[in-house]
Chain A
Amino acid sequence: MAQLSYREAVSRGIAQEMARDERVMLIGEDIGGAGGVFKTTAGLFEQFGRTRVVDTPISEQAILGAAMGAAMTGLRPIAEIMFSDFFAVCWDIVVNEIAKMRYMTNGQVKMPLVIKSGNGGSLRMGAQHSQSIENWAMAVPGLKVVTPSTPLDVVGLMAAAVRSDDPVLFFEHKGLYASKGEVPDGEIVDELGKAAIRRPGKDATVLALGLMVGRALGAAEELAREGIDVEVIDVRSLVPLDTQTLLTSISRTGRLFTVEENPRLLGWGAEIASIAADECFWDLDMPIRRITTPHIPLPSADSLEDAVLPSVDRIVQDVRKGVSL
C-alpha cells in the first residue's frame, strides 16, 4: 500500500497497462522527457522508450487522427490532450471519426482508444484553460466518459478504459493532481459505468464528480453536525451511467442535489435530474436542486473563480435550505 498523488496515479495506471500489453502506447505533447506539463506521465518515457511514449508535433488534430489510425491497426493508444479546452480544436476527429467508426463499419472496426486530458478549474487558468467539458463528451453517441476523483480510481479506471474496445474520454481533474490517497500494490482494474457511494446517508442524495466530490463530502460533514445526514455519491462514469445506484439512493432519501462544475445549461446533472424525474418522481420529497457554476466563462481572478465554482459553503446552504422545505 502506497500513498500516491493523483498525478502519480495517472502514470502508475498507464505503466501498469503498458507493462501488461505491448500494444498500449502513449502519444501527446510534452509527455516524454518532460513527463507531461502536469507531470502525469513522469517516468514512462524512461521505462518504455521513445517508440511507445511518443512526443508529437504541436497538433491536436494530428494526435487524435493518428491515435485513431493506430487503434484501427490493433494498437491500444492512450492519447493526451493537454488541456480539455483543446478538444475544441480537434473535436471533428472525436465526434465525426472516433465516435462513429465502429457504427459506420457495422462493428467491423474496433476503436480501443483512450483520450486522457486535464479538465476543470480552480487553478486560476482563466476562460480557455479551466473548462469542465465532460458534458460535451456525454452528448456524443459512441464515446464513454469517466472522471476519477481519487488516486485509486485513477489507476483502476485507467486500466478499465485501456481494456475497453470503445473509445473512452478520461477526464483527469487538474485541481486534484496534487491530492493524495492510498493505492494498494499490485494490479488494479476497475469497471466503467459504476458510481461509488462515498458517504452513506438517509436525508438527501448529493451527486458529484471530480473536484466536486471532496467539496460535497466536506459539506456533508458540516451538515452532519446540524443533524442532516447526506449521502454523497461519486458519479465517476457519465457514459455508461450507473442509474441503478443513483436511482436507488434518490428513491430512498427522497431528495436529489447535483454538484456540477460545468456551466449550468445542459450540465451532466440536468440529464440525471431528467432521469430521476422520470423514474422516481413519486419518491421525491422536494424539487431536484442543481448546484452549478453559473452559465458564464470562468474568470481567472482568485476571488472570482472561488466565488463561482460550487463551494462547500454553497453546497451546505443549498442542501440545508432544500431539506428544510
Chain B
Amino acid sequence: MTLHGHVPPEPDLVQLLTPEGVRVDHPDFPLEITDDEIKSLYRDLALVRRFDGEATALQRQGELGLWASCLGQEAAQVGAGRALRSQDMAFPTYREHGVAWCRDVDPVTLLGMFRGVSLGGWNPNENNFNLYTIVLGAQTLHAVGYAMGVARDGAVGTGEPERDTAVLTFFGDGASSQGDVNEAFIWAAAANLPVVFYCQNNQWAISEPVERQSRVPLFQRASGFGFPGIRIDGNDVLACLAVSRVALDEARSGQGPTLIEAFTYRMGAHTTSDDPTRYRLSEELETWKHRDPIERVRAYLIREAGVAQEFFDGIEAESEELAIRIRQACRALEDPSPLSVFDQVYVEITDELAEQRSDYADYLASFEGAGR
C-alpha cells in the first residue's frame, strides 16, 4: 500500500439534457419543468448570447473599451440566475451577463461600465445583484458577510418561502486559487452560512489551463472544508437550474453552504484584449462547440416538444430588436462632466479636495470658449 498509489476515477457530472437535446433523468435531481418553461429558458439563452455578441462587436467598433464575453457559459449563468428568488442576493464576477439578465439589470447599464462612463454605477440592492467585482475572488467574502447579515436577521430556516434568503456567489477556476475564496469556504462552513459558491470552471484562467490551479476536480475541494460539492454540466441549463435550486433551498433552510462546479467552456477570449489562439488548440474549441448550451435546448424543443419554427423566428426577431436598442443606447451614453470626478469620494467633500476641485474648475475655465 502506498499513499500515492490510489487514483480516483473521473467524476460524473449531473446532466439532465444531453448535448444532442435528449432529456435524461438523474435520480437525485429530478426537475419538474414544462415545455413552456424550457421555451422561456431558451429565450433567455438566445437573448443573452445576442447581447453578448453585440457587446463584443461594439468593442471592436471602438464603442467599448473592453468586453468580457460570456460566450459558451450562458446555460451556467441562466440556470443559476433563474434558480434565485427575488430576496436572494447574487455576487457576480465581471462576466455574469446572463445572471444580470435574470436579475433584470439592463444590459445597457453593464455596457456603461465597459464603455468607461461609469465604474459600475448600479444600485446592488435594487435588483439584489452586486456590482461586477473585478478583483478576483473578493466577492466570495462579500457574500459570506452578506450571509452573516441574513442569518442575523433570522432570514434562514423559518420555512417562509418569501423570507428565507440565500446568497449566491460566482467565481471561476482561476479565482479558486485565491486566498479570499478559500477563506470564504472556511468561514461559510464554520458558521454554517446560507451561501452557494458557484464556480464556473470554464477551463481557462486567461492563458492558464485548470490543471495549473488544481490537482483534484474543483468541486472535491468542498469536502475538505466540510460542505457538499458537486459537478454539473455547465452547458446544460436544466442541470444548472435543478442543482442550483436544491443548493439554494438547502441554504435557505439552514443547512449551510454548497460548492457547485459548473463544468463549462470559455468559447471566446478572456476579454477583447486577449487572443486565445496563442495558447490553446482550436480542436478543443471545436469539441466544445458540439456541447453548445443553446443548440441542445433548441434540438429538444424541436424534436421532443414539437415546437414550431414560428417560435424561433419570434425569438430571432426579439434578438434583433434587442441588438438595435443596445447599439443605439450604447452610442448615446455620454461622458460624465469633468467636475463629477470629485463627487462621491467622501460623503462630504473635504476642504482639501474642495480646493483641488476649485483649482480644476479654474483650469477648465481657462480654456478658450469655456463657459459658453
Chain A interface: which of B28-36, B170-178, B297-305? B170-178
- Cβ-defined contact, B180 with A30, below 8 A: no
Interface: B149 (CB within 8 A) = no
Interface: A286 (CB within 8 A) = no
Contacts of A33 in B (CB 8 A): 207, 278-279
- Cβ-defined contact, B335 with A301, below 8 A: yes
Smallest beta-carbon distance B137→chain A, Å = 8
Which one, B116, B135, B212, contacts A302 given CB within 8 A?
B116
Interface: B190 (CB within 8 A) = no
Q: Given the complex of chains A and B, what is the CA–CA distance between A128 and B135 in angstroms? A: 8
Instruction: Kindly report which residue of chain A lies nearest to residue B115, judged by CB atoms.
Output: A301
- Cβ-defined contact, B180 with A89, below 8 A: yes
Which one, B278, B340, B353, contacts A34 given CB within 8 A?
B278
Q: Using a Cβ–Cβ cut-off of 8 Å, how many residues does chain B contribute to the interface with A? A: 41
- Give how many A-B residue pairs fall within 8 Å (CB-CB): 111
Interface: A129 (CB within 8 A) = yes
Q: Given the complex of chains A and B, what is the CA–CA distance between A283 and B335 in angstroms? A: 45
- Cβ-defined contact, A304 with B206, below 8 A: no
Interface: B360 (CB within 8 A) = yes
Interface bits A26-65 vs B (CB < 8 Å: 1, else 0): 0001101111010000000000000000011111111000
Contacts of B274 in A (CB 8 A): 37
Interface bits B257-291 vs A (CB < 8 Å: 1, else 0): 00000000000000001100011000000000000
Interface: B228 (CB within 8 A) = no
Contacts of B273 in A (CB 8 A): 37
Smallest beta-carbon distance B215→chain A, Å = 11
Contacts of A30 in B (CB 8 A): 206-208
Interface: A201 (CB within 8 A) = no
Interface bits B238-257 vs A (CB < 8 Å: 1, else 0): 00000000000000000000
Which one, B138, B208, B345, B356, contacts A58 given CB within 8 A?
B208
- Cβ-defined contact, B205 with A58, below 8 A: yes
- Cβ-defined contact, A126 with B336, below 8 A: no
- Cβ-defined contact, B177 with A59, below 8 A: yes
Interface bits A294-311 vs B (CB < 8 Å: 1, else 0): 111101111111011000
Instruction: Kindly report which residue of chain B lies nearest to residue A295, judged by CB atoms.
Output: B353
Q: Given the complex of chains A and B, what is the CA–CA distance between A55 and B352 in angstroms? A: 44
- Cβ-defined contact, B278 with A299, below 8 A: no
Contacts of B207 in A (CB 8 A): 30, 32-34, 55
- Cβ-defined contact, A299 with B353, below 8 A: no
Contacts of B363 in A (CB 8 A): 314, 317
Q: Given the complex of chains A and B, what is the CA–CA distance between A295 and B359 in angstroms? A: 13
Which one, B135, B179, B338, B356, contacts A264 given CB within 8 A?
B356
Interface: A163 (CB within 8 A) = no
Give 18 A-B contacts (CB < 8 Å), ordered by A residue.
A29-B205, A33-B207, A35-B278, A37-B273, A55-B208, A55-B212, A58-B136, A62-B177, A129-B134, A264-B352, A296-B342, A299-B119, A303-B338, A304-B335, A304-B340, A304-B341, A308-B360, A317-B363
Which residues from chain A sit less than 8 Å from chain B, CB to CB? 29-30, 32-35, 37, 55-62, 85-86, 88-89, 124-129, 264-265, 294-297, 299-305, 307-308, 314, 317
